[in-house]
A and B are shown apart, each in its own frame.
Chain A
Amino acid sequence: MLQFRLWQQALIGLLVLAAAILALPNFFSKATVDGWPGFAPKSRIALGLDLQGGSYLLLGVDTDKVINDRLTSLRQEIQRAMRPLGNRERIALQAAPAIDAADNRISFRVREEADAAQAVERVRDITRAGSLVGAGVRPYEVTVTGPRVEVVMTAEARRAYEQEALADSIEVVRRRIDPAGNKEVLIQPQGGDRIVVQAPGDNDPEALKQIINRTGQLSFHRVDTAVAAEDAQAGLLPPGRIVVPIAEVEGGGSLVIWEEAEVTGDMVESASAGLDSDGGGFQINFAFDSRGARRFADYTREHVGELFAIVLDNEVISYPRIQTPITGGSGRITGNFAPEEAQRIATLIRSGALPAPLTTLEQRSISAGLGADSVRAGAFALIIGFAAVVAYMVLSYGRFGVYADIALIANVVLIAGALSLFGSTLTLPGIAGVVLTIGMAVDANVLIFERIREEVAAGKAPVSAAELGFSKALSAIIDANVTTFVAALIMFVLGAGPVRGFAVTLAVGVITSVFSAYIITRLFAGRYILSRRPKTIRL
């Protein structure tokens, strides 16, 4: 029990040494570590947002709206399909198709029951075209009972559309926050309809939210100047027109525009902020893709002298008069924009529109200052706690206390090595977990030493007392550590954010502490007892 073969000793030494080497990169700057040769360990413990400062945002994707938008556009297509076209005849409906969002369903009744089969045929035509890529499933089930036709989105299709919306949203958010792709921003999906954004160092979560939360829907519309302001106020509008507010920078108020857009944001290829060549403010330069350029050229050629409105997220951000046809495929949005606003709008346009608005469900921001304070306080507490436990063990157990302390140091090295190896994130509760582990790690040694003490008191000789102490304490050590490990495991599975950091260090600490307290202490205690053959053991 007390005897270790040479290879066993070497193995234990190598293990601790390996952990120390693995932990090494944490003590050097990243640039230094990158310069090390290829075989050297480079992975280091990452600091959590609560230690380095940064923002954590949990965003919810409004998947219901995504589905609803799909159904709405399908309804338009259905209506269009019932109109006459070429030698196709009109199918008269009793009323416009109704959307039942809760059941993912569109239903309508044809006026003549005889037309039902033909109506189903046309609906099948348009829904087949929109079948899901690769999935091989039909997105809609079409059924008919008498004059009533039902179009139901299948559950698989709904799930696929939701996943698509989530993936698209993540892409848009990434393009907005990290257009150059050089920031350390983490953007991940969570569950079926959530996005986690972790942006270290970014100290202005407000700006972050402002750019994320805008839908970014850009469109160009014809302005109707014929409607009197009072009529617009009273809601007396010709069909197809809507009232849209004008942005503050453009003077506020509202404008009557055609609802249908002439050109939409998805036809914009690029956008950037620049200095206004005429006025003092900033402007947004943009360029259309070929389709947008053609449409825009056609439109401006036919409407010279008229106003046209540039609408971003249901707000007119500019409404210039068309002086000459714009055929070059590029344009600019002028207005008295502040530089940040121009930059923000340019990024919004460039990144494209979100499939659905995002809601911020949770936000946690820590300033870099508080993070640094926490690191300092945590490190200080760690040192004090460590020193106190080390001193207490020596005072209580003398020589054996020193062995326990050696094991404790090895334990801290092993924890640091393991956390570096996995590239774990250290949070403030994680530091607390390490401190707690230090306090609890000596428990195994206490159990062993108390056991040896009892055996000595029962009249056993030092060698057999030590052997019995180690072997009899084992079952209690295992039991005691399993309970803590289970608690840590649950925290990891069910815990949120920083709590998981606590769970990780606690769990790692439990494993390393059993190893170091049981094996490393035994190695040292065994060498002492077997080589010196003391007459009595002082404990």
Chain B
Amino acid sequence: MLLKLIPDKTNLPFSSWRYVAVGVSFLLAVASIISVSTIGLNFGVDFKGGVTIEIASPKPIDLGQIRSGVGGLGLGEVNVTEIEDVAGAGKGVLITVAQQTPREGEDFDAAQQRAASEVRAFVTTTLGPDTEFRRTEVVGATVSGELVEKGVLAVGVAVLLMVLYIWIRYEWQFAVGSIVALFHDLAITMGFLSITQLDFNVSTIAALLTVVGYSMNDTVVVFDRIRENLRKYKKMPLQELIDLTINETLTRTVMTSGTTLLSLLALFFFGGEVLRGFTGAIIFGILIGTYSSIFAAAPFLLWTGVKRDWSKVKGAAPAGA
């Protein structure tokens, strides 16, 4: 007997749940926007500038000692947290120092470097020379500014190209539907990042782009089938047709999300500390993307309507709306 998470023939009225789905989505999106604008995102050194140093020592590390010691260096806001160590080489400690204001006659980037050197010197004197500096990241204002710019640009260009692709391959109604689903997924994933306060760094941008790609991927498969069914069932009411399509593609949607999530969960649990935030964001984004392609993107077509007369168009390349 083969494993079946979704029965062979389903006939669920997804479209009629669209008001509930839209309500839920709307609430989640609004909550996300509020969270991002009030709690904010936990920007890492990549975007905020400053210093991150991860240390490990064969001896136990006294967090309080590090906290007060580094705090006493006069470097402004200092954050010291313990991190779980996968390799079992003792617990690690993560020291984050906020972006430095340069002292007199000092240049901005040099100030960040000085702070890093001071923290490293302090740690070496306090914990002894066998301390392992596992990771040191120092980002000055020039680079962090550029990384923000590039990150925003990357997400923007990605969204634009996706929508353009859908517009060329399908009609404008589909493009609108996919853009709504895309913003929905992005906004709620950002909200998730804000509430969990996962470190938001350059890799997070890669995670968001992956979510964008996946969300489109999911939506496109459903759209492809809707268009096929539009040609096949010329007289079927749109709502019925959309429900039929979602039911037909449901197994695939769940199956693919399932395999993708399986591999990502392995990465999340066994892939180590460095990747956890990155993988967490993708996992959440894929869950949301799956939800939106079933409940949000296709039913959205009911509001925009679609072109029903395909008699003049032949082949897979329509002339557009």
Contact = CB atoms under 8 A, between A and B. Distances in A.
Interface string A404-418: 000000000000000
A380 B87 CA distance: 12
A285 to B, nearest CB: 30
Interface residues of B, number: 81
Contact of A428 (B8, B221, B275): B275
B2 A395 contact: yes
B271 A366 contact: no
B140 A362 contact: yes
A381 B271 contact: yes
Contacts of A363: 113, 116, 136-139
Given A429-B206, A483-B220, A496-B147, A376 B87 contact: yes
Contacts of A189: none
A90 interface: no
Contact of B142 (A361, A454, A472, A486): A361
B221 A386 contact: no
Interface stretch (A131-139, A248-256, A432-440): A432-440
B143 A58 contact: yes
Contacts of B150: 494-496
Interface string B203-234: 10110011011101110110011001000000
A432 B202 contact: no
Given A60-B142, A496-B147, A486 B161 contact: yes
Nearest to B134: A370
Interface in A329-388: 359-367, 369-370, 372-374, 376-378, 380-382, 384-386, 388
A486 B163 CA distance: 11
A443 B206 contact: no
Nearest to B121: A206
Given A432-B278, A490-B161, A442 B256 contact: yes
A438 B264 CA distance: 10
Given A362-B139, A475-B224, A450 B255 contact: yes
A296 interface: no
A439 B205 CA distance: 20
B154 A490 contact: yes
A468 to B, nearest CB: 12
Contacts of A116: none
A392 interface: yes
Nearest to B275: A432
A131 B127 CA distance: 58
B120 interface: yes
A432 B267 contact: yes
Contacts of A377: 86, 270-272, 275
B142 A487 contact: no
Nearest to A386: B263
B54 interface: yes
Interface in B1-26: 2-4, 8-9
B93 interface: no
A497 B205 CA distance: 12
A379 B135 CA distance: 20
Interface stretch (A222-230, A317-325, A498-506): A498-506
Interface string B102-131: 000001011001001100100000000000
B138 A362 contact: yes
B306 interface: no
Contacts of B248: 454
B169 interface: yes
Contacts of A498: 202-203
A515 interface: no
A367 B4 contact: no
Given A370-B54, A475-B224, A487 B210 contact: yes
A439 B286 CA distance: 12
Contact of B217 (A60, A362, A480): A480
11 contacts: A359-B109, A360-B109, A362-B138, A366-B134, A370-B274, A378-B272, A381-B266, A393-B259, A480-B217, A487-B210, A490-B157
Interface of A: 50, 58, 60, 203, 205-206, 209, 359-367, 369-370, 372-374, 376-378, 380-382, 384-386, 388-389, 392-393, 395-398, 428-429, 431-432, 435-436, 438-440, 442-443, 446-447, 450, 453-454, 457, 472, 475-476, 479-484, 486-488, 490-491, 494-499, 502-503, 506, 538-539
